[in-house]
Structure 1
């Protein structure tokens, strides 16, 4: 029995990056031998065990063979005869196909260290094309390591194009796709993830609504970058630079989907793009079974982001409707995330990345003014039921009018 540290732990150590998860592979062992040493089995499809003390995962060396379409369409074979090299060749990228023994001796049969130095994401073998999820994984690694100068090797990008054209991407489950998408959006350069998917033609398969934004012009006065797709990538980049949560990043990616539906003879104007965008936002949310908090914020930001930009001009009644839409009384955090998404949208424009966004504090102040209206005096006046609700609305409207007068330019 020989035990090796494999995959990301080896890669990140060589890159000088923090090592978070450690994967182990065991060569020359049987299931019975692992159980005899106190390991606990957890793998349903192939033999994976938890270490009796550390709880880390140890997998028996295995080979795999494509048996049907999709991510789960593989037959695995684990036995003491499977070599370390045979186990490593089934992995996605050369930089993930290295192993290290207890003495720190590196096993690198597919030149992963060389690709680390060359800053290349390269597939290990032609078997890469058997797993459609790898298109998303490579794009995610490109986003993770973009700061270090990594790019996708041309021959790997070509394989990804072939996978995109094959129909295999449609076989991915919503859960697996969302897991990769959500992880990629939380990387330092999430816009690289979207760009790589576009470069290999996977974006138009997975998110045609986002792909449709590229090449769509916007008024240069507001959008010096002009192209709506380029703007979307810039907004996503700003969200990452400002360390926004996943909810905000997802909303940033989808906020302008309505512009992809504007008739060409209306370009570069996009009248009512906020309302037009709601149907494609719902479609993409449902396709990937996106968590509810991400779904809700994406829809609200899509519908109201231009209200955010025009906050200082809004009538008190419109301002109140906006605040009510976000349920600021019970869900204050969601309104904060809306403000953040609006600010990222304003900054995601060529040459305007450092602009101030006074609308943010103005909207916070308006929310506080509305929240400050007390219910108790109205109850004491005898209001109840629908009449109480209307009286409360009128008092909040009065408070917002006073707030607007105090902050008039």
Structure 2
């Protein structure tokens, strides 16, 4: 065991020497081993001529500390910094000051739960060359947060899709979190954020996406402090593609739904909306989820025991509060004639579902992200934060909900 330990220490020492050799390979001048013997007159190089902060061997270094490599005179010839995090070693980009005396990273924020190694070579004003190897580790947070993102990576969505991030903790430092998220599109379009409460951040353009747009979301949340002592965990990207344009307008008074594809009327479908005592919300809603079949129980959305249907076919969620557009097999005479639901929009269907029914036809031609707009209902307009209903907000009001003005 002792022999193995000495072997590991010897290997570590050799690795450090080889690192310095690599750094010095491009240097000229100097004498002695590794070119560090001194200046042209043979005088020895001064010890600790290269100053590195944080100090060598420091542990639990806070994120706010600044990494710097300095020399009092002469110039820094080479600086190599590597950060090891999650078993992955990554070079740290940085730059020298114009006078060559100071090196600093391009991003001053230290990574957390990480180990930094610094290797530097410098030449002082007397021509002495020196090298230094240091390391330090950073603070390991006890608390982390993540974002649950909508839509899914590599999905194809409708033109009304809104990027929505639901955080696992309340966000206090909203501006810091907002700056750490970047949403971009090809072809380019202006995309702006809006906060709903303390733990949800949505992004959208001024108008519906153009078909064919590719949207990329970069989550740079790793080590971002959302609240005191709570730091982000994710550093990832995902993307989605906008498919064809399909928007549907439900007229609750006329008991119809007009379905338009790329501006062209595909069909007018008979529907039933909310009954007078339980009307359907007005406004623009976005398909959030699509279920071939699901159970609907009134107790889960604030009603009593009015209904409990175990096999509702072709169910498409429109709001968080429980508004669906779905097949209706239990009251086949209502669509196109009367409003009898508890707030949902019902299309004629059969038990078990069928593609040959209006509900099945619409389900087969829909995407998550499609817009369903309801008009002429006796209820209020849906709240913009209820589901992906942010299209009911003016562009000015939407932009006003950002933390970074």
What TM-score, normalized to structure 2?
Answer: 0.24
If each structure's helix is expressed as a fraction of its own residues, which one has the higher value?
1
What TM-score, normalized to structure 1?
Answer: 0.24
